[in-house]
Structure 1
Amino acid sequence: MKNIFIATDFSEASLNAAKYAVALAGHFNSTIFLFNAYQTPVSIPESYIFFTVEQVGEEVMMLLEKEEKIISRYGMVPIEKCMAEGNPVNTILSEATKRKADLIVCGMKGSGKILKRIFGSTATDLARQTNIPLIIVPENTPFHLPDNIAFASDNKTIPGVQNILTLKQIGTQFNSKLSVVSVADDGANDSFEFREKFTDFIEALQSMKPSLEALEGSDIPAVLEKYIKDHAVNLIVLIPHEHGFLSGIFGGSITKHMSFLSDVPVLILPEKRDEA
């Protein structure tokens, strides 16, 4: 994992995510790109305030320098500051691609009843649109070695081996234990079928000694939350896609009980990654 790209908006949530990213980078000797996507404010007629692009850029650089000083205490890794004007999500993904980022890290703001109150709209849209692995870090969660990882599956989308490089790198570096957790309605979770579907995935991650957990229950968020708490999971892995309960998470339809998402970092693995 050579390059880790931090998307910051200078909030407390972003600062915490940046600390997490630097601590993680220290274990991989990665280069950090500390990035802000800014938009030039429009003039305000009532007060006759107007900011030029140059003024905004200067202010952003000052904030990047301030944040760099803080996060550099969390790991001895090179940090490059960068910024660009534009829509946050599009600009983050474009600039991360230009810098050959292996991982994007951003912050998660607080907790709430729907995903946008938990993740914030930028993180939510990044999770939906990214073609680069993404870690979303809760605002008040410090860095812990990700040595107990749960991959949450809806038993519909099976991750391809090419999509799991980041997960494998983390698992190898931290000697992590991996649980593959599927949740379905009572009586609908066939453990044999589940194992058959995940054969290639399990074989590719043998070094993590993965276990398969076929759980049953009609309240999927509640079942997941109980499992995560009972097993002290410190990294959740999700693949968002167009159909299935994970798309519900990212569409907000079943998030009212997803309070655990405000406590544990989430690794988003894109279904497809563009070829370099």
Structure 2
Amino acid sequence: MRKVIIPTDFSENALNAIKYAVELLKYERGEFHIVHAYAEKVYENEEVVSRAILDEVRKVEHEQSKEKLGNIKSELQHISPNPNHNYFYTATFGILVDVVNDLVEDINADLVIMGTRGLTNDRQITFGSNTMQIMKYVRCPVLSIPEGHSYTAPKWVVFPTDFMLPYKRRELKLLYTMVASYRSLITLLYFSENQQLSFRQQDNKKFIEEAFKNVELEYVTQPSDDITAGINHYLQNQSVDLLVMVNSRHSYLENILFQSTIDKIGLQIQKPFLVMQNLNRD
């Protein structure tokens, strides 16, 4: 049983991510937790000038959220009446990243799926603030779906790596199950001036090969000091179906994500983006 959390702000991007999720797992037994957290909206309401008004706005927002979740339920019953899928709908007064992280722990979630941007949909940035926070801090793989992107089978996956991390078996298994049925190609993209791998890198490379023993692997080494620019250049005009990176200390992705402000994030991704966290989880 695959356990998936799908945050929603009721935007078109969020609904698109839900549709992508049910299509991605249409051949698997799935438990989908569709979650809306509305504390920020209540706190930012300019009419809230007293505790009594806050409580009233909170109550109204909760009822409206339940109604909108009901609309999503009706739409899913129409577009994806899959007997292997169970859906759970939650509206809660909380901060989204905390709500999602707590739910990950409570249900031992396998995956979070969400749109790259939400209701504000600022096209000047690649990732919205909620998506960035969840990719950085939630202890679970996160799959972000670009605006308007329809599901396509992940037949070509690009996985930038420096082979320095001893990856966690559970997260590699998640990726394996996503690609195993499609005769997919995984391109392991390594940025270095030096073709020679250290013993640590050789061992980690071997571990990856064992995890994907029935999947075609391709190794591409490119000279580049700017990892972000290198990834963007490689993806340009390529028919890649999925980009995969690992968020861990001293990883490629840590250097990209942990910038001072969101607008400095240079990845120009118009493909589904899977962020694995490389954490010990049962």
- For 1:72 and 1:179, the matched residues in 2 are separated by 37
Q: Which amino acid aligns with 1:13?
A: N
Match of 1:190 in 2: 196
Equivalent runs, 1:99-178 vs 2, <5 Å:
99-109=107-117, 117-178=125-186
**Structure 1: unaligned runs, 5 residues or longer:** none
- For 1:174 and 1:72, the matched residues in 2 are separated by 27
- For 1:88 and 1:257, the matched residues in 2 are separated by 24
Match of 1:12 in 2: 12
3-state DSSP of counterpart to 2:4: strand
% of aligned pairs identical? 19
- For 2:224 and 2:130, the matched residues in 1 are separated by 31
Match of 1:41 in 2: 42
Q: Which amino acid aligns with 2:188?
A: V
CA 1:252–1:27: 2 relative to 1, 3 Å? farther
1:240 aligns with 2:247: yes
Match of 1:205 in 2: 212
> What is the RMSD of the two structures over their aligned residues, measured on CA atoms?
2.7
**264-273 or 220-229: which moved more?**
220-229
By how many angstroms is 1:198 displaced? Answer: 0.8
**Structure 2: unaligned runs, 5 residues or longer:** none
CA 1:100–1:151: 2 relative to 1, 3 Å? same
CA deviations on 1:126-179 (whole Å, 9 max, x unpaired) are 111122221111122111111211111134324233431211111223332211
By how many angstroms is 1:73 displaced? Answer: 4.2
CA 1:112–1:220: 2 relative to 1, 3 Å? farther
Match of 2:67 in 1: 62
2:272 to 265, 269, 274: 265
- For 1:173 and 1:38, the matched residues in 2 are separated by 38
TM-score using structure 1 length: 0.85
1:98 aligns with 2:87: no
CA deviations on 1:223-270 (whole Å, 9 max, x unpaired) are 2223224542111111112324321221237955421x2x11111111
3-state DSSP of counterpart to 1:28: coil
CA 1:98–1:173: 2 relative to 1, 3 Å? farther
- For 2:182 and 2:91, the matched residues in 1 are separated by 32
3-state DSSP of counterpart to 1:252: coil
CA 1:123–1:196: 2 relative to 1, 3 Å? same
- Are the equivalent residues in 2 in contact too, given 1:127–1:268 (CA < 8 A)? yes
- For 2:5 and 2:252, the matched residues in 1 are separated by 28
- For 1:25 and 1:163, the matched residues in 2 are separated by 16
Q: Which amino acid aligns with 2:66?
A: M
CA deviations on 1:196-230 (whole Å, 9 max, x unpaired) are 54111111111112222122223322322232245
- For 1:150 and 1:207, the matched residues in 2 are separated by 17
By how many angstroms is 1:7 displaced? Answer: 0.8
- For 1:65 and 1:175, the matched residues in 2 are separated by 38
- For 1:196 and 1:111, the matched residues in 2 are separated by 42
- For 1:213 and 1:17, the matched residues in 2 are separated by 30
3-state DSSP of counterpart to 1:210: strand
- Are the equivalent residues in 1 in contact too, given 2:6–2:113 (CA < 8 A)? yes
- Are the equivalent residues in 1 in contact too, given 2:191–2:224 (CA < 8 A)? yes
CA 1:54–1:231: 2 relative to 1, 3 Å? same
By how many angstroms is 1:71 displaced? Answer: 3.9
